[in-house]
Amino acid sequence: MTTTAERTDGHRRTRGFTWAMIVVAAGLGVMFVGPTLPTPLYPIYRSSFDFGKLTLTLIYAIYVLGNLAALLIFGRLSIQIGRRLVTLPAVAIGALSVVTFVFADGVGWLLAARVLSGLATGLASGAATAWIAELQPEHDRAIAAVTASGANFVGLAVGSLLAGTLADLAPWPLRLSYIVYLALLLAVGVAVVFPPETVASRVSHWKDLALRPRLGVPAGIRLSFMSPAATAFATFAVLGFYAALIASVLGESLRQAPGSPMSLSLVSSRLWRP
């Protein structure tokens, strides 16, 4: 028979894991602010650094290199050394990316910042998603997946909204949004210290780390895997293409000078004008 003390301890444990899960999910959402933060600022970068659409597309796409490196090489790292010990370096790399954006004075800086941003997001996404699943009180993978996906998409949406709003309404359009984001990253770095670590076994020496990429799909699900994989690839390819160029294309369609902030009211009035 369950005693009152045992029930109380169970409630405390559930509440603690729920709180920890929310903290990790919020941190994951903040990490995903970084990839879309520069998107509304690309027309200003083009005007300031004088580069064309091909270079702009390269700056946008090079993010994938850092992301793939994190997922392929370091994807299993959090299983070996712990979720927190991977999430904290991801936050630090994200902060380094932000500093690189703040001091950027040319295309090379933007390329480096985007690679660092991809590396940080890739590290955080794998470790934090697994952490959320392990912190979920009932170990319900569906709830954990929805939570992680929701944090991902909210972060991506907030990034563009934050940078676009500050560029339109506040000074220092190429600096202020990154300074605000850096403060959020520092808060995440402090917050993720508190959730309990869920990986019990640790690799005792760095030489024992298994970092060799392992790619494969179990034979039993390969046919079922192909259709959603192809759909996801096409969706993200189109999304990436338009996200890289939409600011410039929209600015030219609305006859806005390159590098000038574009307010929401102006966009609405031009789009709905007969």
Q: What CA–CA distance (Å, rounded) separates 118 from 151? A: 17
**DSSP state string for 85-147:** HHHHHHHHHHHHHHHHHHT--SHHHHHHHHHHHHHHHHHHHHHHHHHHHHHSTT--HHHHHHH
Cβ contacts of 131 within 8 Å, gap of 6 or more: 24, 78, 83, 84, 87, 195, 198
pLDDT above 60 (res 267):
no
Please compute the mean of the pLDDT values over residues 212-241 and round it to a whole number.
75
pLDDT (tens digit, 9 = 90+) per residue, 157-182?
999 999 999 998 989 999 999 999 99
- What confidence tier does 128 reach under pLDDT thresholds 50, 70, 90? very high
pLDDT given for residue 251 in this prediction: 62
What single letter denotes the amino acid at residue 104? A
Q: What CA–CA distance (Å, rounded) separates 199 from 197? A: 6
pLDDT above 70 (res 5):
no
pLDDT given for residue 245 in this prediction: 63
pLDDT above 60 (res 272):
no
| Angle formed at CA 97 by CA 94 and CA 100, multiple of 5 degrees | 155
Is the CB of residue 131 less than 8 Å from the CB of residue 24? yes
Please compute the mean of the pLDDT values over residues 227-242 and round it to a whole number.
76
DSSP summary character for residue 40: G
Residue 32, number of CB atoms within 10 A of its CB: 22
pLDDT given for residue 231 in this prediction: 85
Please compute the mean of the pLDDT values over residues 38-47 and round it to a whole number.
88
pLDDT (tens digit, 9 = 90+) per residue, 249-261?
666 666 555 555 4
164 Cα distance to chain centroid:
17
- What confidence tier does 247 reach under pLDDT thresholds 50, 70, 90? low
Rounded to two decimals, the pTM is 0.79
Q: Is 253 left (phi over 0), alpha (psi -120 to 50) or beta?
A: alpha
Answer CATH for 13-196 from 1.20.1250.20, 3.90.330.10, 1.20.120.530, 1.20.190.20: 1.20.1250.20
Q: Is 238 exposed, middle or buried (0-12, 13-18, 19+ CB in 10 A)?
A: exposed
Mean pLDDT of the chain: 81
Higher pLDDT, 187 or 222: 187
pLDDT given for residue 80 in this prediction: 84
Cβ contacts of 250 within 8 Å, gap of 6 or more: 262, 267
> 3-state DSSP call for residue 236?
helix
Domain positions in the chain are 13-196
